[in-house]
Amino acid sequence: MSTDLVAYWEIPLNGFLHRIEFEHGTVTGKRCVRVDGKDIIKREWMFKLVGSEMFDIGGTKFEIRIDPATAFTYSYTLEVNGVEFEKFTEKQSKANKTWVLELEDDMYRVVLEKDTLDVWANGQRLETESEFVDDGSEMHFMLGRNPAHIKAVSSGRRREGIIYNLILNDCLIPEFTE
């Protein structure tokens, strides 16, 4: 780990939790953007210490802004598709349901995108089969070698809307909160 690491963010995107790290050498001007442990931008000896670095992950646009904070310190801001990181993750948590579980010695991060009804596991979109049941609907899919489904039922309250539950091997998996 470099001593020039000045900021990092963990961002849920397409069913995967990406880690973005930013190194900034305030003497040399060095900049390095690392996504999930891989360098995607690396610049040495830059004379301009402020500015921004732009990159994308799977079609989503990112910008890290470097602004002066005081005489010899800087602030670092991440924007996702033009929206500040905090607002983006807040919006994501409202638009998605997330479950994290261990299954057969593997960790799975399952995400339901409520607006598209796409189901993701560890960043891969899963094939689902949907059916209506007496009290709602179910989306069936395989998680590893195990059948699973997400059941959608009405809460009976207008403000609460639809309740989504992940069921694996007839067990209810608790929702994960970011």
The tens digit of pLDDT for each residue in 30-50 reads 999 999 999 999 998 877 888
d(CA 154, CA 151): 10
d(CA 18, CA 2): 19
- b/e for 53-81, b at 16 or more Cβ within 10 A? beeebeeeebebbbeeeeeeebeeebbbe
d(CA 85, CA 102): 28
pLDDT tens per residue, range 129-149: 999 999 999 999 999 899 999
pLDDT of 2 reads 55
CATH architecture of 95-173: Beta Barrel (2.40)
Average the pLDDT over 66-95 and give the result.
Answer: 92
Which option is the CATH number for 5-81: 3.30.70.420, 2.120.10.10, 2.40.128.180, 3.20.10.10? 2.40.128.180
Range(s) for CATH 2.40.128.180 in the chain? Answer: 5-81, 95-173
178 pLDDT more than 70: no
